[in-house]
Amino acid sequence: MNLHTWLAFFAASWLISLSPGAGALSCMTAGLRYGFRRGAWNIFGLQLGVALLVLVVAVGLGAVLAASNLAFNAIKWAGVLYLVWLGVQQWRAEPRPPVAEEADAGPASRSALVLRGFLVNASNPKGIVFMLAVLPQFIDLQQPQAAQYAICAATLFFTDAVVMSGYTLLASRVLKALRDPAHIRATNRFFGGVFVAVGLLLAGFKRGVA
């Protein structure tokens, strides 16, 4: 991959990362409930999900999943149900101010947040179709492809981690100023409703839409 191609992909990566979606929503809810330091584990999980999507496209499974009605719908509805479940959990969350450090147990544990972030990206068929449409355009088929996909993955990790950190920090610094339980409950229910709405939008996603 030459420098010109990488710079073009670097610019595209910022656009991909800045596009609002379930990942950004996941970061804001994690920042709201757990603070930035704890919410960073959700960001790490999101990057694992990105790694899986790049790998799926790199080994050719992306085209198979996009073409298979059964596989595509299975992933799509898994993603829909997961986002709706996250929305319900957020809606029902206790109206308490977020804290940056809690015991590693329950929904605030590091492993739970990593898994949450991973599933948000990994269960999104739109991400697979989008990667399938974008990534191959920057790959030189005359050169070793593994190294090029690795470079693209590293680039996506960087841009997405920066953007998702911004979302998490915004929520943890601004929204945590809320102390009134009624305001916190209203904020939780707002984000919970948005999660459900995103899930319902995903339900209508078609394979032909990138």
Residue 7 and residue 157: Cα distance in Å, rounded?
Answer: 15
pLDDT for position 18: 79
Q: Tell me which DSSP letter residue 140 carries.
A: -
What does each of the 210 residues of the chain score in pLDDT, given as a tens digit? Answer: 788 888 888 888 887 787 777 888 889 888 888 888 888 999 999 999 999 988 888 887 666 666 677 777 777 787 778 778 777 877 776 666 555 444 444 456 888 899 989 998 888 777 777 777 777 777 887 888 888 888 989 998 999 999 999 989 888 877 656 656 676 677 777 777 877 787 777 677 665 543
Distance between first and last Cα of the chain = 24
Helix (H) / strand (E) element for 39: namely helix 22-58
pLDDT for position 70: 76
CA dist 84 → 13, 30, 105, 200 (Å): 27, 16, 23, 8
What is the percent of the chain with per-residue pLDDT over 70, rounded to a whole number?
80
pLDDT for position 106: 46
Amino acid at 153: A
Taking residue 205's Cβ as centre, other Cβ atoms within 10 Å add up to 16
Q: How far is CA 148 from the centre of its chain?
A: 23
Residue 154 and residue 13: Cα distance in Å, rounded?
Answer: 10
Q: Are 156 and 16 in contact (CB under 8 A)?
A: yes
Q: Are 11 and 155 in contact (CB under 8 A)?
A: no
pLDDT for position 110: 86
Q: Angle CA(68)–CA(72)–CA(73) in degrees, nearest 5?
A: 120
Q: Are 198 and 83 in contact (CB under 8 A)?
A: yes
pTM of the model: 0.72
Q: Tell me which DSSP letter residue 2 carries.
A: -
